[in-house]
Every structure is written in C-alpha cells, then in structure tokens.
Structure 1
Amino acid sequence: MSGNGVAVVAIAVLLLAACADGRSEPAATAATVAPGACGVVTSLPDGATLRAEDVGARGGTNARYAVLGGEACGAGVARRPEHCETFPWATEMNLYALGARGWLVVGLGSSVREQIVFYAKDSSFADTYVQAAQDCGFTPLTVIDGEPATLERNRPGRVEIVHMTARSVIWLSSTDPGVTEADLVRLSGIAEDRSAQVNPPS
C-alpha cells in the first residue's frame, strides 16, 4: 500500500474512534456550547423576562432558557463558584450539583443583561451564592432578617447586582452609564415577578 493509502486508512480509523467516543456525550462544539454545558434549551412563557422597553433600550430582547436535569448534568461537582468574572461563576454541571434546575439568560439591547438561576427548594443554593458573591467582591445593599437580599459590585464601566429570592438568584449588569444601581434594583423586582411564570423541574 502506498504512503498516501496508509495515511487515508489512519485518518479513517481516527474518525471512527472519534465517532465511537462521541456517543457517550451530547454532540457539541466549542463554538456553539460552552464547556460544562448540559442543559436542554426550551421555550419560555410569554412575558417571563424583562423587555428592552423596561430600560428604554434600543434593540430587541434575546433570551435563552435551559432546563438542568440530572441525566445530562448529574456529573457535576458541588463546590462553591469560584470564577468571578462571568455570572453564574460555574458551569451548568456544577450549577446542577449545587441545586440549580434552570438557567435563564436575557440581553436587553446593549444596555442590560439579565441572568436568573432557578434552584431546587431544599438546596443550599442561595446561601452558597451569597457567600460566592461576597467572595467575588459584592457587598450587601439590602438585608432582610439579617441576611443579604441584594448585593452590588461596581467595576470600571460596569454596575452589577445579585438579588436573592426564595426560588432563584437574579443577576443584572449594565455597561450603560445611564443605567444606575437603583435602576438595576428596580428591574430585579420586575424580573422576580415576571420569572414566577417559569417552573423548572424540582
């Protein structure tokens, strides 16, 4: 067999091996799915998210909602989030292990970004995320019954808040100088009310 023939056979063997290995994991590429992604993207009820007009933003609203289930996400590790730059500071698999059951990401034009992680009732998700937020430089803004309910972080050119609810952690961020911390706090209340329509599995 010529050198070219051997090379073709070798490439075919490698491709077959890659296909065989790929059967155990969902088909995904780095360009379309983030590392650690495992959620199943599904539709949202109408009116469940903030809208561009809530902040006077130009452009539309883009939303992605993923349900996190044990079959796909159960291989995660329940350790406190440690990647502070991009909320929710952990992969979907690790979010599931902590108690998360759904993840909503919404862009409101170019003004505000909304993310909500819904968690199982009996999980320690909320306490974990209060501590993680503080470890990531957030400071308490409002306190209810001695526990932080809303935390804020100001970085150059960006304002962020984390708002804790009985069923979710709401993160809002803006790089628009016209959007203030008070605006984000107001929006977090609207986000909490509207997202009540979203019912991820427990």
Structure 2
Amino acid sequence: MSGNGVAVLAVAVLLLAACSEPQVTPEVATTAPAPPGACGVTGSVPGGATLVAADVPVDGRTSVQYTVLGADTCGGGVAGRPDRCGTFPWTTERNLYALGGRGWLQVAVGSAVREQIVFSAAGSSFADAYAQAAQDCGFSTLTVLDGDPVTLERSRDGRAEIVYLTGRSVIWTASTDPAVDVAGLVRLAGVAEQRSALVTTPS
C-alpha cells in the first residue's frame, strides 16, 4: 500500500473512532430569566386571605402567588410613580418597592378573573401615586372620599378593570367574562380588602 493510501486509511479510522464516541451535549438552562426589575421573594399566604372560585360566577381553579418585597432584595429602586399602563402594577418590582410597595399578591380565578393587591408601607404616598397613575392610564373615577378617588374603573378590549385604594393597599381586579362586570369587580375588591387583612407584610 502506498504512503497516500496509508494516510487515507489512518484518517478514516480516526473519523470512525470519533463517530463512535458518545457526543457530549452542552447543558441548556431550563429556568427562564427573571423579568427586569424582579427582586422579591416568594412568601406564604394564610388560608382564607384571597378570592376563591366560589366567589365568582365562572368555572375554574384558583392560583395564588405572593411576592414579598424587602429592603435587602429590592432596595435601590428610583420610581416616583408607576411608569407604564399595560400590566398591573404598572412598574417593576424594584421600583414598586421604591414607591412604597412591600408585598404583591396575585390571584387568578379560572381564566377570566384576576385579583392583584400591592400592600404598601405605612405612611407612604402609595395610594396617591396609584390614583394619579390610574387616571393617567385612562381610568375614570367611580367613588370619592374626602375629595380623593377611592375606586377607579377602565373598560377596553373586552376587559373591565377596577383599582380600589385602601389605607394599606392598592387592589386591582379585572374580568374578561361578561358575567363579572364593573359592579361585580367592585364587590370583589371589597371582599379582597377584608380577606387580605390576614396577610402580613414587611414594614
């Protein structure tokens, strides 16, 4: 066999050996990156602190997520007020903390009804900031107390939304089901306020 033939044979043997070796596939991360500004940690919610499926005339399971916003993880935000109108609470978690937010409770009842409550630090101007943000985002005032908005509503694209301001939280409820209209959302916001009194938040 000529020298060229030997070289070709040697290369073929090496290629066959390489093909028979197990191939190592690089690991791919399976967790999605946290959204920009995410900083809170998961907290537990006492039983009876949220809306449940029996509260609304729609079918479906109830899912609950509670995020605790603490100084050690969320300090450093710079927001003066919510800066967007799309998805409540209209700002990142870090800036939510800077506004005075201390806990963020999210509840889904079936596929049509949503409840979100942001608990605020005592003495903060959180409610005022959210009243102005709601108005800037196209909400209309429904009720007023001592000259200040308490309940605001917005309806668009088949979805009704309520923002309800309390002494310790801002409650947002929304529905895409005609069976739960603005009046129904106002009722649910009142229920949410009573039940959420069971939730404790960082000071």
1:150-179 Cα distance to aligned partner (Å, 9 max, x none): 000010210000000000000001111221
Structure number with bigger Rg: 2
The AA in structure 1 aligned to 2:85 is C
User: Match of 1:171, SS?
Assistant: strand
Match of 1:192 in 2: 193
C-alpha distance 32-182 of structure 1, shift in aligned 2 (>3 A): farther
Residues in 2 aligned to 1:75 and 1:30: alpha-carbon distance in whole angstroms = 25
The AA in structure 2 aligned to 1:55 is V
Q: Is the 8 A contact 2:57 2:179 kept in 1?
A: no
Residues in 1 aligned to 2:48 and 2:107: alpha-carbon distance in whole angstroms = 12
TM-score in terms of structure 2 length? 0.83
Match of 2:142 in 1: 141
Residues in 1 aligned to 2:31 and 2:117: alpha-carbon distance in whole angstroms = 23
Number of aligned residue pairs? 175
Residues in 1 aligned to 2:31 and 2:96: alpha-carbon distance in whole angstroms = 19
C-alpha distance 59-32 of structure 1, shift in aligned 2 (>3 A): farther
1:81-109 Cα distance to aligned partner (Å, 9 max, x none): 12101000000000000110000000001
Offset at 1:188?
A: 0.5
1:117 and 2:118 aligned: yes
Offset at 1:31?
A: 2.5
Residues in 2 aligned to 1:102 and 1:146: alpha-carbon distance in whole angstroms = 27
Q: CA RMSD in A?
A: 1.5
1:42 and 2:43 aligned: yes
Residues in 1 aligned to 2:116 and 2:34: alpha-carbon distance in whole angstroms = 17
C-alpha distance 30-82 of structure 1, shift in aligned 2 (>3 A): farther
Offset at 1:33?
A: 2.8
Match of 1:80 in 2: 81
1:168 and 2:169 aligned: yes
Q: Is the 8 A contact 2:57 2:180 kept in 1?
A: no
Offset at 1:77?
A: 1.0
Residues in 2 aligned to 1:33 and 1:75: alpha-carbon distance in whole angstroms = 17
Match of 1:11 in 2: none
The AA in structure 2 aligned to 1:101 is R
Offset at 1:32?
A: 5.5
Give 4+ residue runs of structure 1 displaced > 6 Å after superposition: none
Residues in 2 aligned to 1:147 and 1:167: alpha-carbon distance in whole angstroms = 15
Residues in 2 aligned to 1:193 and 1:128: alpha-carbon distance in whole angstroms = 22
Residues in 2 aligned to 1:104 and 1:53: alpha-carbon distance in whole angstroms = 19
Offset at 1:118?
A: 0.2
User: Match of 1:126, SS?
Assistant: helix
Residues in 1 aligned to 2:104 and 2:184: alpha-carbon distance in whole angstroms = 23
Identity %: 65
Runs of 5+ unmatched residues, structure 1: 1-27
TM-score in terms of structure 1 length? 0.83
